[in-house]
Structure 1
Amino acid sequence: MHLLFLLLLLPTVFSLNQEGLILQQVKHSLQDPDSSLSTWNPQDPSPCQWTGVSCSPSSSSVTSINLSNSNLAGPFPSLICHLTNLTHLSFSNTSITSPLNITACKSLKTLDLSQCLLTGVIPHTLPDLPLLTSLDLSGNNFSGDIPETFGKFQKLETLSLISNLLDGTIPPFLGNISSLKTLNLSYNPFTPGRIPPELGNLTNLQVLWLTECNLIGEIPDSLGRLSKLVDLDLSFNNLVGPIPNSLGGLTNVVQIELYNNSLTGAIPVELGNLKSLRFFDAADNKLTGTVPDELCLLPLESLNLYENDLEGELPGSVALSPNLNELKIFGNRFSGELPRDLGVNSPLRLIDVSENGFSGELPAGLCARGKLEELLVLRNSFSGGLPESLGDCRSLTRVRLAYNRFSGLIPVGFWGLPHVSLLEMINNSFSGEVSRTIGGALNLSMLVLTNNEFTGALPEEIGSLDKLNELSASGNKFNGSLPDGLMSLVELGTLDLHGNRFSGELSSKIKSLKKLNELNLADNEFSGKIPEEIGSLSVLNYLDLSGNLFSGEIPVSLQGLKLNQLNLSNNRLTGEIPGSLEKEMYKNSFLGNPGLCGDIKGLCGSEDEAKSKGYAWLLRSIFVLAVIVFVAGLSWFYFKYMIFKKARAVERSKWTLMSFHKLGFSENEILESLDEENVVGAGASGKVYKVVLTNGETVAVKRLWTGSVKEIEDTDDPEKGERPGVQDEAFEAEVETLGKIRHKNIVKLWCCCTTRDCKLLVYEYMPNGSLGDLLHSSKGGTLGWETRFKIILDAAEGLSYLHHDCVPAIVHRDVKSNNILIDGDYGAKVADFGVAKVVDLTGKAPKSMSVIAGSCGYIAPEYAYTLRVNEKSDIYSFGVVILEIVTRKRPVDPELGEKDLVKWVCSTLDQKGVEHVIDPKLDLCYKEEISKIINVGLLCTSPLPINRPSMRRVVKMLQEIGGGDDESLSKTRSGKLTPYYYEETSDQGSSAWETK
């Protein structure tokens, strides 16, 4: 048949040689929607100039074919094995499918079929290729066992089976492949099993990756015989027992990753023999004892021992390590003092010793080499003052000194460090004044001085901090009036100065703080009138001016605010309370103002006045009753109508209300507004209503129904796949998640109402709807790049909060553009937590879910295949959202053909350039910045979870792009699956993976 095909081609391709004819037949057997093989011209005499084809210079015969990332599709073209001199073959990241018949390729040395669509069992005939040195089948859907014949490979040096569905155990016969240099079996759902001791026979092995392979038992001593090993990764398993002393025999090892297991015992002193070791990570185990001096003397770049049960003092020898770049040992039981010479001999960049029992003073040389960026020492017992040398440490970006026993004055230069974004000193005994040098801290966004002994007035120079988002200085002894410069901080969202001795009048210039969300000036000595201008702060929802000397009337303008918390008690206010503020939720907000009157118990409370009000109430009641009786007597129909209303009222009384913020409305007001004319959206689980309350506030109400199987099956929402009980699960997940978290980029859940048959969720209303609807509507083209970038950054910060700042962490599981809501200022908030899951208390996400949650086009590859869920799934989905915002194309769109958005972006970038990816409506003057954002999106959508950055890292990269920093953005997605080194950053016990 093949011969007949070649004969038919001869009249038109008479000049093409035999190998060209074979490749023409290969071309015709594959689907090529992108015309990747357009250069394969049958009129050419030889295929040596064709795309992806390489030939021997001496014989001009084809030796290599590389068609990776070409979007080719179809069964594996076995005819290609007729090229007798073919030594290298790659179809990586294509849609090549089974069957895989390749035994005729006898000259083949390297075979790369990673990230294809191969299924079934791995062919047992692959070891019949006598010259094969590299086999990469990663990122496919192979299942079953690793074939027993694999122990017969003769020259194989690289075996990579990452991210398949292999469900046997790791076989001991792999120890027979004596030529093996790289063995990577990571991210497979193997049956629980031990590490075969026979792997210790692979004396040529340089890389051993067994990440997340469901390993149990102890690490075998035999691994210590792998003297050529450079990289050992056994992380994310269930290994127990001690770290073997024999690992001290890994004389060439650079990186050892043992984190997220259940290892016990002490760290072996023998590891001090590993002179090449640069990265050692034993985080999240059950290790005990102290850090060996021998380990600390190594030239480590990263020593990560957090979340263990390490006890005792930190050895002084840790200070002697000449290349120590990071010291992260938070969340242990260390005590004593930090080594005095810490940082003197090493370019220390990050130190995180939080949540231990350290005491004494901070070492003076922490920043001796001028590299220190992050100083995190929360929740210890450090004492004394800060070293004067820190006042000259201009490299610092984040400082957290909270919950210690520090005292004394802050070095003058420390206040004005130019790159610090976070300065937190909560619960110490610092004293003195805030220096005027603070005007130089131009990058400062959070200044938290709560519960110290600071004195004096705030300097006028604080008005220079244009990026300041939070100023919290409660519980100190500050005095004087507020500086005028403070009122020019347009980014300020939180101003909390309660419990000080501030005085004077509150300036009307406060109206310029348009982003102020919280204003707490309680328990000071402010006087004069409350400025009318406070009523113009549209996003203010927390106002506490209690315990001051304010006088005059309450400004009527406060009625226009949407306040969750209002407290004006214990002042000298007089007059009537504005009508819309006379609510049950504010009943204690006006006490202690003798001259204040209103319909609230305890105000204007003379006996005569109370009696007068009582008579008036009685007369009004009698009048209302008379009207009701008169009307009831006119008509039997009206009588029946009243019975109906009474029955409906009884039904409403069955509603149970659970609030998560102080409310200015009741459930009855919500229920009365659930009319069809107020419906703004509908889906499989119910409807969404827009409800305008009597106080002028607007909320969104999601109504979830507990329907029958039939009702659920009849829905037309293709994304939900609902089943009986799903609505209840979604409701519980939403309440459990949103009810306890607070963040500016997470949608606010006001309350929930429930009955047996219906459940309501009441959210803040987002005027611009969902990002998906906005982006793909006629308005989408008018969204400028600055607005789109702001939406990306806001959404990233919301997800980062869920992954890194919630305890336990939360995995959203359905990140998509329709679940990102847009407010009136085009700020983005993450919403819809109906399928969210929390990470368990061990710090590990659930291994798998019974069904796939998520939406087509946004689901991470490994999630769809294995149902294993962690934060990396959210990161992939967010990467798709980034690409969706940049391109304004849906993740799955007929316009993209058979590709999804990620593959379309990759192929278009390769073939046409970035201009053809960017939404034509965007101004190309932002091309460089948009290109960097695309790179972030591609990093997030890397096929391998381990290659995706954490959300904290994503936020940092986005902020760097906004500031014009090119750092960390040069790496884009690669078709090759090669080992990467990672570093971890932490903050109060959370971690984030970063590409080095």
Structure 2
Amino acid sequence: MSSSYSLCFALLLLIPFAFCLNQEGHYLQQLKLGFDDPDGFFSDWDDTVADYTPCHWTGVTCSEPGSGFVIAVDLSNANVAGPFPSVLCRLTGLKFISLYNNSVNGTLPDDLSACRSLVRLNLAQNLLTGKLPESLSHLSELKYLDLTGNNFSGDIPASFGLFQNLEAISLVDNLISGEIPAELGNITTLKQLNLSYNPFSPGEIPPELGNLTNLEVLWLTDCNLIGPIPDSLGRLGKLVDLDLAINKLTGPVPSSITELSSVVQIELYNNSLNGELPAAGWSKMTALRLIDISMNFLTGTVPEELCSLQLESLHLYENQLGGKFPEIISNSSNLYELRLFGNRFSGSLPKDLGKNSPLVWVDVSNNLFSGELPASLCENGALEELLMIHNSFSGSIPASFSKCRSLKRVRLGYNKISGEVPLGFWGLPQVSLLELVENSFTGVIGKTIVGAGNLSTLNIANNNFSGELPDEIGFLDGLIEFSGSHNRFSGSLPASIINLDQLTKLDLHNNGFSGEIPTRIDLLTKLNELNLANNKFSGNIPDKIGELSVLNYLDLSGNQFSGKVPVGLQNLRLNQLNLSSNSLTGDIPPVYAKKVYINSFLGNPGLCGDIEGLCDGKNVTKSVGYVWLLRSIFVLTGSIFIVGAGWFYFQYKRFKSSKESVDKSKWTLMSFHKLSFSEYEILDALDEDNVIGSGASGKVYKVVLSNGDAVAVKKLWAGSKKGESEDLENGFGSGSVLDNGFEAEVETLGRIRHKNIVRLWCCCSTKTCKLLVYEYMPNGSLGDLLHSTKSGLLDWPVRYKIAVDAAEGLAYLHHDCVPAIVHRDVKSNNILLDGDYGARVADFGVAKVVDANEKNGNSMSVIAGSCGYIAPEYAYTLRVNEKSDIYSFGVVILELVTGKRPVGPEYGEKDLVKWVCTTLDQKGLDAVFDPKLDACFKEEICKVLNVGLLCTSPLPINRPSMRRVVKMLQEIGSVNPTKFASKDGKLTPYYLDDASDHGSGA
């Protein structure tokens, strides 16, 4: 009796129903021992088997039941970690290996070539590093090789050209360098070649790829390709998908491309292609449905043959194409998307455009089009976006547009369109943006506008509209901006206008309005800009205007206002104030009685104040007397106060010897609000007992004032640098470079006002120490609370409110500050929470003003921001603009939805954004949601998650503006929940921001 038989016999005596495991089972148990298995994927991989084989184990497949020969090992999404298990290659019949989406690490061993029978190898979405083994080509039976989403580096081995049966290879999203080897053209069996998103060295497309006559998919997006598109690609007769986008390809689109008779999709956008499109040959491409050649330098006209195809999507935007656009495009029965903006097209649009096509998106902005708008654009009732700004269209808006109830965004501005707007067009129910600016429209705003329940932006400035504003405007409770300047409106403002509690901008200057401003204008709590200049308004300026806490632009000049300037205006921090050319009387409020404001009050004969040149002689003499008297009283009172305070401090200091030593005589105070405390009260409270946060940059103190209120004091020491330490508690940041960070924070917070921006009361400074005094936020930072044991306090309604509040604060910085401000360090630790969990954006130590003249933003010498929040393009371009903030805010949204930190060991070398995308794709929505959230909010959470995914798009151009983000979030909370998860649990887009906004100014 052999030893193995003895062992089996012994085991049978101990375990009556167990059998001996065969050798292949033992190999698989070695694999199990080499992996960490936190989720218990291998729980049934034991030696208690009924047929001597591992064929019933999870992830294991055998050729035939009971044969014992393992042919497939599938550990996809098992959440296992460890090096690649070379022991698999001892399974002589193994044809399929998948370790997809795990944490397989280390390098890929050369002995993988021992898997001689392998047909499919899927190691995508792991943590593999090092060079691609040259020996992989020894796998003579291999047909499918997927190494997507790892960290492989070095060159693609030339030996890969020796594969004998390979049909698909994907190396997408690695760190592969060198040039694409010409030897790949030797794999004549290849059907799919996917090499996108790798940092290849600048190199041309190897002409040898034209030898791959069986190729169906050629995906070389963002591969640093240069030079021309080789004519040889025209030999790929079976090609279905050609994607060469986001490279630096030059030269013309070769005429040989029209030989691709099987191609369905062509992506050549964002290159440097020039010259004219091939004039003929397009008729052979009968399968072509989607073509994108946008963002190049193409010239000439668009071939009729191209437009005669049954296209579904045509993108030619941002080129130098011109001439008349082919009429034959109207015959397309499949066309749903036409984007031509940013070219030089002229003449009329095809008159039957849309008649036979289910058009959804049309953008022809920034061209030289003229003639009338095609009445058939919405013939099929699917049109959602109509963007036609900056052309020379004329005539009137077709009456048929009144029936286009699918429309969501309409931009007809900067044309020569005239006539009255059809009544039904005012009231389209889905329209959120209606822009008719800079045309020659006449007539009145129809009362039918009450039906536009989704309208958020109405811009009809610079036209010839007349009559009174209808009361129905006050029922548009989602209206955010209303611009109607330079028209012929008359009458009073409708009383209902005070119902627009979401309104941030009201600009009606240069009209003929009369009457008084509604007294309860304070109900417009979000109003940031009010411009009623050059009308006929009269009466008093309402005192309630001083209660508009976020107002920073006020222009009431050129009217007939009388009475006094409201003292309450002193409560506002205005970037623009103009009350000139009215009939105001009395004294100017002290805050504005300075020479710098003289132009704000000129042309008011009865108005006076301590501003040289504003008053006549009599009033000047009288005012000077009063001023000297007041100054004398002030000096005397101040002297008594200083002496008394000095004595009190001397006595107080004797009993506070344990406190930090501070020379108060050297402190300079700069206040930004009316203060109920002095700097001495702050300085006296800088005790160690009051520290609530600390770091290498300094400390944060909670100071309880004598009146019972609390403030937070951030103390910065000389030499502190942003990012040297962990964030201070309560989210007040880790400090800044003493001078630059302090000045940035003071300059930013000192001049802006918004309910969702943390309030900076004042600052105190000496040469070596600087203090920033903020409003105190009792619930600390979002990051601290969300990622602590107290996160249960943040149920979904609270998290949703925080997201909206923070978005509104950032939107104010990006869109309402002049010039705009980029925060550059948006993160959950810099979002503070008040007692009601209202959110405020904080820590502006690295904020920057955006230069409006620099299209792509300002270049920074160092990266600002925090790990896990930095936009991918910022890390390698150092170009800062608002899109960087939007990405960071998207990460915050993902934190709110998942409850997870932006970076952590659980992601390996990934981060939260990549983890969410991968998990959604493989496990569905439920695997992403924070388990602490109530499932009854699932649909709303889904929609917010989708907003976060839009914000974290890898391409900045695809991220929505912050104003759009606010609108999307508000819509989620205001409409009935709508499912947008498909049956398989995969996420499908709910909000898709206009991808062409970057080009057409939308």
Asked whether the equivalents of residues 179 and 202 of structure 1 are also in contact (C-alpha less than 8 Å), the reply is yes
TM-score where L is the length of structure 2: 0.81
1:396 deviation in Å?
Answer: 0.9
Q: Are 1:576 and 1:596, in contact at CA under 8 Å, matched by a contact in 2?
A: yes
* Structure-2 separation of matches of 1:633 and 1:761: 26
Report what 2:273 is aligned to. 263
Aligned to 2:838: 826
Contact kept, 8 Å, 1:330 with 1:353, in 2: the verdict is yes
Greater CA drift, 928-937 or 160-169? 928-937
Q: Which moved more, 1:849-858 or 1:91-100?
A: 849-858
Matching residue's letter, 1:362: L
State the match for 2:658 in structure 1: none
Q: Aligned partners of 2:842, 2:642: CA distance in 1, in Å?
A: 51
Offset, 1:221 = 0.6
**How far apart, CA to CA, are the structure 1 residues paired with 2:526 and 2:813?**
23
For 1:798 and 1:219, locate their aligned partners in 2 and report how far apart those are by CA, in whole Å.
47
Secondary structure at 1:534 match in 2:
helix
1:374 matches 2:379: no
The residue type equivalent to 1:950 in the other structure is: R
Worse-matched range after superposition: 563-572 or 463-472: 563-572
Residues 1:345 and 2:356 aligned together: yes
The answer for the alignment partner of 2:959 in structure 1 is 950
Q: Give, in whole Å, the separation in 1 of the partners of 2:43 and 2:181.
A: 44
Residue 40 of structure 2 corresponds to residue 35 of structure 1 = yes
TM-score normalised by structure 1 residue count: 0.82
- Output the CA distance in 1 between the equivalents of 2:821 and 2:151: 28
Gaps of 5+ in 2: 649-662
In 1: Cα distance, 2:290 partner to 2:465 partner: 42
Q: Please say if residues 302 and 983 of structure 1, whose CA atoms lie closer than 8 Å, have aligned partners that are also in contact.
A: no
**Residues 359, 382 of structure 1: 8 Å contact kept:** yes
Paired residues in the alignment total 958
Matches within 5 A, 1:692-771: 707=719, 715=725, 770-771=781-782
The 8 Å contact of residues 583 and 664 in structure 1, kept in 2 or not, is answered as: no
1:176 matches 2:183: no
Give the stretch that moved more between structures: 419-428 or 890-899.
890-899
Residue 157 to residue 675, structure 1, CA distance change in 2 (3 Å)? farther
Asked if the contact 2:920/2:986 (under 8 Å) is kept, the reply is: no
> By how many angstroms is 1:36 displaced?
2.1
**Which residue of 70, 81, 95 maps to 2:89?**
81
**Take 1:550 and 1:9, find their aligned partners in 2: how far apart are those partners?**
107
Residue matched to 2:62: 55
Distance change >3 Å, CA 732–CA 111, structure 1 → 2: farther
Q: How far apart are the structure 2 equivalents of 1:905 and 1:357?
A: 44
Q: Which runs of 5+ in 1 are unaligned?
A: 639-646, 658-662, 976-981
In structure 1, the residue matched to 2:508 is: 497
Partner of 1:198: 208
Structure 1 SS opposite 2:393:
strand
SS at match of 1:262: coil
Post-superposition CA distance 1:70-114 (Å, at most 9, x none)? 221111111122222221111112111234231221111110111
Query: Are 1:821 and 1:831, in contact at CA under 8 Å, matched by a contact in 2?
Result: no
Which shifted more, 555-564 or 91-100?
555-564
Residues 741 and 324 of structure 1, relative CA distance in 2, 3 Å threshold? farther
> What do residues 859-905 of structure 1 show as CA deviations (whole Å, max 9, x unaligned)?
68999999999999877755542332124343356899999656887
The aligned counterpart of 1:164 is 174
Deviation at 1:121, TM superposition (A): 0.8
Note the 1:554-565 alignment, pairs <5 A: 554-565=565-576
Q: CA deviation at 1:608?
A: 4.0
Deviations 1:302-330 (A, max 9, x none): 21111112222222223332222122111
Aligned partner of residue 581 in structure 2, secondary structure: coil
Identity of aligned residues (%): 60
Residues 824 and 846 in structure 2, CA contact (< 8 A), matched pair in contact too: no
SS state at 1:471 partner: strand
CA separation in 2, counterparts of 1:583 and 1:680?
40
Moved more, 450-459 or 683-692: 683-692
Change (3 A) 1:866 1:444: closer
The answer (yes or no) to whether the contact 1:799–1:951 under 8 Å persists in 2 is no
Among 481, 496, 505, the alignment partner of 1:470 is 481
How far did residue 738 of structure 1 move?
Answer: 11
Summarize the Cα distance change of 1:691–1:342 in structure 2 as closer, same or farther, 3 Å threshold: farther
Moved more, 460-469 or 155-164: 460-469
**Residues 939 and 947 of structure 1 are in contact (CA less than 8 Å); yes or no, is this contact kept in structure 2?**
no
Secondary structure of the structure 1 residue equivalent to 2:482 = strand
Q: Which amino acid aligns with 2:229?
A: I
Alignment of 1:96 onto 2:104:
yes
Query: Would the aligned equivalents of 1:172 and 1:196 in 2 still touch at CA under 8 Å?
Result: yes
CA contact (8 A) 1:585 1:664 kept: no
1:354–1:988 contact (8 Å) kept in structure 2: no
How far apart, CA to CA, are the structure 2 residues paired with 1:302 and 1:746? 43
Q: Which residue of 2 aligns with 1:134?
A: 144
CA distance in 1, matches of 2:569, 2:852: 43
CA distance in 2, matches of 1:213, 1:467: 44
Q: CA RMSD in A?
A: 5.3
Residues 398-424 of structure 1: CA deviation (Å, up to 9, x unaligned): 111121222111111111111111111
SS in 1 for 2:419: strand
> Does 2:525 align with 1:520?
no
CA offset digits 1:342-386 (Å, max 9, x no partner): 222211111111111222221121112211111111111222211
Q: Which amino acid aligns with 2:58?
A: T
> Residue 165 of structure 1 contacts residue 865 of structure 1 at CA under 8 Å; is this kept in 2?
no
CA distance in 1, matches of 2:157, 2:944: 43
Pick closer, same or farther for the CA change 1:322–1:892 going to 2, 3 Å: closer
Conservation of the 8 A alpha-carbon contact between 2:237 and 2:261: yes
Alignment of 1:294-313 (within 5 A): 294-313=305-324
- Alignment CA distance shift 1:972-1:169 (3 Å): farther
Answer yes or no: is the 8 Å Cα contact 1:431–1:453 preserved in 2: yes
Note the C-alpha offset of 1:582: 3.6
Q: Which residue of 2 aligns with 1:144?
A: 154
State the match for 2:257 in structure 1: 247
Whole-Å Cα distance in 2 between the matches of residues 301 and 328 of structure 1?
12
Deviations 1:28-53 (A, max 9, x none): 11111222222323323343332222
CA–CA distance in 2 between the matches of 1:671 and 1:23? 73
Provide the residue aligned with 1:65 in structure 2: 73
Question: Displacement of 1:128 after TM fit?
Answer: 1.1
Paired residue for 1:119?
A: 129
Query: Which residue of structure 2 aligns with residue 445 of structure 1?
Result: 456
CA distance in 2, matches of 1:83, 1:204: 32
Task: Indicate how the Cα distance of structure 1 residues 256 and 149 shifts in structure 2: closer, same or farther if over 3 A, else same.
Answer: same
Give the match for residue 937 of structure 2. 926
In 1, distance between residues paired with 2:642 and 2:142? Answer: 95
- CA deviations on 1:482-508 (whole Å, 9 max, x unpaired) are 222222222222222222111223333
The correspondence of residues 901-980 of structure 1 with structure 2, limited to 5 A, is 918-919=929-930, 922-934=933-945, 945=954, 950-951=959-960, 961-962=972-973, 963-964=975-976, 966=978, 969-970=981-982
Partner of 2:602: 591
Matches within 5 A, 1:263-662: 263-270=273-280, 272-273=282-283, 274-583=285-594, 586-601=597-612, 605-615=615-625
The superposition leaves residues 747-785 of structure 1 with CA deviations (integer Å, 9 ceiling, x where unpaired) of 999999999999999999989764324534687544442
Q: CA shift at 1:232, angstroms?
A: 1.0
Cα distance change, pair 842–441 in 1 and its aligned pair in 2 (3 A): same
- Write the deviation string for residues 220-244 of structure 1: whole angstroms up to 9, x where unpaired: 1101111111111111111111111
CA distance, structure 2, for counterparts of residue 736 and residue 264 of structure 1: 46
Aligned to 1:98, the other structure's residue is in SS state: strand
Provide the secondary structure at the position in 1 that maps to 2:620: helix
Partner of 1:228: 238
Distance 2:267 2:361 in 1: 20
Distance 1:383 1:938, change over 3 A: closer
C-alpha deviations, 1:704-763, integer Å up to 9, x for none?
77739xx8997566999x999988897999999999999998999999999999999999
